[in-house]
Amino acid sequence: MNLSNLKKGEKGIIKGYKNDNFPIKLLELGILPGVKFEILFVSIFCDPLCISYDQSCLTLRKKEAENIIIEPLI
């Protein structure tokens, strides 16, 4: 499952990335395997979406979120 599949209020853990074209900028911002997050906002057409993690917030484009593999938390 990838990050772009979740809806507002859902939580998960980042497990990895689909390919090596993942922007280094996001790694530097802390989007790393093992990080727990929550979806704060999903815009119309799911682009962009906003996540909360480690007391930070980040807005991601749908294309970026599709490359992040996650494990949903119940």
Q: What is the mean pLDDT of residues 37-52?
A: 92
| Tokens standing for residue 55 | 């007391």
Q: How many CB atoms lie within 10 A of CB 20?
A: 6
Question: Longest C-alpha distance within the chain, in Å?
Answer: 30
Q: What is the mean pLDDT of residues 6-20?
A: 92
Q: Where are the alpha helices (DSSP H) in the chain?
A: 24-28, 62-66
pLDDT digits over 54-65, tens only? 999 999 999 889
Q: What residues have CB less than 8 Å from 4, skipping those under 6 apart?
A: 46, 49, 62, 65, 66, 68
Which pTM does this prediction carry? 0.86
Q: What is the CATH code of the structural domain delimited by 3-73?
A: 2.30.30.90
| Tokens standing for residue 64 | 């970026």
